[in-house]
Amino acid sequence: MKDNSLSKLGGICCIVLGALYVLFFVVEPGMQGMVAASEYSEYWKDVAQNPPVHVLFNLVPALVGILGLVTVPAISQLVRTENEGWVRWMSSLALLGYAVQAIGSFRALALGPGMAEAYLAGDAATQKLIEATSLSLDPQGWLTLGGVGLWLLVINLLALRAGAWPKVLAYLGIACAILYWLVLAGALAGAVLGFTITTMVVLMVAGQGGPIVAPVWFIWTGLRLRKAEAS
């Protein structure tokens, strides 16, 4: 049975989550563009000299992770009767991804400034050590991108079969899952092969689609949840 209180709260959180995605994609390029290994000194200098940007860069995904813990069960209940086993499994995977994202982002928010000071003041050995230490709990995105993307794929395929929401919305959700996986593929390729042309193309495609597809899907789905609660 559908829980109307969950639909109401989940709808609000889903809309806010979509809006935060827009904010994150505005802040992200200015920081993420300096994460290449050859530019670590510029990255840490920017963290030390621009605290507000550092705060936004980590606080926004942390809040997205917290909101995701409400959004996932609220959306999943709309298609749960289609295949409860798959929905439960994928929901657990997405919840794990959002929890890891929230914890990792709060950790980076707390430790980032101190690491920036240590990097800029340290010798070459200290800098190498900091470069090899990731503040993220999921550096390549297996859970935060791959896991959440798999959940998006499954629930939107089930929604297509059941007619749980409009086909356009379901196709947008599938596209969002693919974009998540493209970012994951780009991160893996960058770690293994370095930032090749292929890696940059993959990240550029995902980066161009992400600021549009993800916010639209989450905000639209949030409105559907509000409508479901009202009915």
User: 3-state secondary structure string, 78-94?
Assistant: CCHHHCHHHHHHHHHHH
Q: Report yes or no: 128 and 122 within 8 Å, Cβ to Cβ.
A: no
By residue count, the chain amounts to: 231
What is the residue whose two structure tokens read 């899952």? Answer: 177
Q: Report yes or no: 31 and 57 within 8 Å, Cβ to Cβ.
A: yes
163, 164, 167, 172: CA torsion to nearest 10: -150
Query: Cα–Cα distance between 125 and 29 in angstroms, integer?
Result: 29
Give ∠ CA 200-111-34 in degrees, rounded to 5: 20
Query: Cα–Cα distance between 20 and 114 in angstroms, integer?
Result: 26
Nearest to 26 by CA among 213, 211, 186, 176: 211
The residue extents of the domains of the chain are 4-230
Q: What is the pLDDT of residue 183?
A: 82
Q: Which residues contact 222 (CB under 8 A, 6 or more apart)?
A: 10, 11, 12, 13, 14, 15, 16, 17, 18, 71
Please give the chain's pLDDT, 231 residues, in tens.
566 889 999 999 999 999 998 887 766 654 444 444 345 667 788 888 888 888 888 999 999 999 999 999 999 999 999 999 999 999 999 999 999 999 999 999 999 999 999 998 999 899 888 888 888 899 888 999 999 999 999 999 999 999 999 999 999 999 999 988 888 887 787 666 655 545 554 555 555 556 789 999 999 999 999 887 666
pLDDT in tens, 71-110: 999 999 999 999 999 999 999 999 999 999 999 999 999 9
